[in-house]
Amino acid sequence: MINPHGSDQLNPLYVQDDPAREALMAEAQTLPSLLLNSAAAANAVMLGAGYFNPLTGYMNLEDAMSVSETMRTSDGLFWPVPVINLVESTTVKPGDRIALRDPNVEGEPVMAIMHVTAIETVSDEEIQRMAGCIFGTQEPNHPGVSTFTSLGKTLLSGPIEVLSFSYFASDFPDTFQTAYDIRAEIEQRGWNKVVAFQTRNPMHLAHEELCRMAMERLEADGCIVHMLLGKLKAGDIPADVRDACIRKMVDVYFPPNSVMVSGYGFDMLYAGPREAVLHAVFRQNMGATHLIVGRDHAGVGEFYGPFDAQTIFDSEVPAGALEIEIFKADHTAWSKKLGRVVMMNEAPDHDKEDFILLSGTKVREMLSEGIAPPPEFSRPEVAEILMAHYQSENA
């Protein structure tokens, strides 16, 4: 199986030994508390689950700036996006052990214990520099920039011991998996070459066919449809609806033991190219050998070029920095001429009118009115689930 990033073995920060975890949970009740923001809580989940291997906790300012500007930590580890814990203010001191509390679960339960090694003030200029590097823009109307610049100016760094996966394990018991869970399942299935497909949306026919194309061209043993379960921007489809759509598609249209449906607990960054590289890092950690990177991967609005998330792997990711390989895909759509889904760049004799292309706005309007998109765009079983969701939203 492919090695995890930066180490020979995966080192998840979740305390798996039950007595040890219970002892730490008891200790946490005696410690000073810090209520995390959603971004820092998502980082804790990813650290605990092994997706952010080989990191041992939250980065300090030197590493955060270095990663933002060079995609390497100060000691040379390749890493594309800072993993940090920013707060508005705190009375915590360096050297303290503190209980990190979950902002996304009622009662704000403890989700980790942190040994605070440093507390640093981040200047407005440093926040803006990091944002510009991570997102490629400092525009405040970019949803990722808006979130990042509002997290606070006090940075707490240090190792953590994770005691909870927040609401992901309870709300999505059949879907949420850690990186080590997925590695174990890949081994159990006997897969060697494994393609990962990232999604924050329900999968239409074009996405389904893209997974099939990648598996066939790479002669892969299987595909992992790996969906984001955390926070999105307003208007995006909730995770439980996406989950139902994807499972229905896989159950009906893929052979047994060819596709795993899984999910991870993280908030969408909308960082385009940088986020695509982060996706590659943690898909390597979960055991995938290939990641599909398509048009406008992890993008938002008009902030990135359609293929910026592909070219970054050629222009900015050093050779040998990652073992996982990228399957580059163009936009896929139904060809009226050929009667099947194709990558649009592989159909040079086609005009735009030769494809069935529907905007997201048009699809939402149709679903809201109880009109199923054409079968060349969406599987009818999937459209039925989406229509029920939109009609309940509008009821």
Has residue 228 been placed in a domain?
A: yes
Q: With CA atoms as reference, report the closest residue to 265 among 181, 341, 184.
A: 181
Has residue 349 been placed in a domain?
A: yes
Instruction: Please tell me the predicted confidence (pLDDT) of residue 234.
Output: 64
Instruction: Please tell me the predicted confidence (pLDDT) of residue 170.
Output: 93
Instruction: Please tell me the predicted confidence (pLDDT) of residue 99.
Output: 98
Same domain, 210 and 141: no
What are the φ/ψ torsions at residue 196 (nearest 5 degrees)?
-105, 140
Q: With CA atoms as reference, report the closest residue to 35 among 92, 101, 99.
A: 101
Helix (H, G, I), strand (E, B) or coil at 289: coil
Q: Give the span between the Cα atoms of 262 and 247, in whole angstroms.
A: 10
Has residue 263 been placed in a domain?
A: yes
Helix (H, G, I), strand (E, B) or coil at 290: strand
**Joined tokens for residue 193:** 């070459």
Same domain, 27 and 108: yes
Has residue 49 been placed in a domain?
A: yes
Same domain, 159 and 191: no
54: preceding bond cis by omega (within 30 degrees): yes
26, 90, 94, 148, 156 from 99: Cα distances, Å? 11, 13, 14, 23, 13
Same domain, 187 and 41: no
Q: How do residues 55-91 score in pLDDT, each as one tens digit? A: 999 999 999 999 999 999 999 999 999 999 999 999 9
Active site residues: 200-201
Give me the amino acid identity at 294: G
**Joined tokens for residue 114:** 């942190």
**Joined tokens for residue 76:** 């040379």
What are the φ/ψ torsions at residue 366 (nearest 5 degrees)?
-60, -50
DSSP class of 72: B
CATH of the domain at 107: 3.10.400.10
Angle at 90 between CA 84 and CA 95, to 5 degrees: 75
Same domain, 29 and 151: yes
Same domain, 186 and 316: yes
Same domain, 222 and 359: yes
- From 167, 201, 221, give the residue that closes a domain: 167
Strands 222-228 and 194-199: parallel
Determine the distance from the C-alpha atom of residue 158 to the mean position of all C-alpha atoms in its chain, rounded to a whole number.
Answer: 23
Question: Model-level pTM?
Answer: 0.94
Same domain, 102 and 188: no
Has residue 10 been placed in a domain?
A: no
CATH of the domain at 369: 3.40.50.620
Which mean pLDDT values do the consecutive 10-residue runs of the chain (395 residues) have?
96 98 98 96 98 98 98 98 96 97 97 98 98 97 96 98 96 95 98 95 91 97 94 74 93 95 94 97 98 92 94 96 97 93 93 88 85 92 92 76
**Joined tokens for residue 148:** 């990042």
Q: Domain span at residue 75?
A: 18-167
Question: Contact at 8 Å (CB) between 178 and 171?
Answer: no
Q: How do residues 299-314 score in pLDDT, each as one tens digit? A: 898 999 999 999 999 9
Same domain, 210 and 279: yes
Q: Domain count of the chain?
A: 2
- From 150, 167, 184, give the residue that closes a domain: 167
- From 121, 147, 167, give the residue that closes a domain: 167
What stretch of H or E contains 184? helix 179-189
HSE toward the beta carbon, residue 235, CA cutoff 13 A? 6
DSSP class of 346: G
**E strands, 323-362, in order:** 325-328, 332-335, 340-343, 355-356
**Joined tokens for residue 298:** 């992890």
Same domain, 46 and 180: no
Q: With CA atoms as reference, report the closest residue to 231 among 305, 147, 154.
A: 147
Q: How do residues 350-364 score in pLDDT, each as one tens digit? A: 999 999 988 777 888
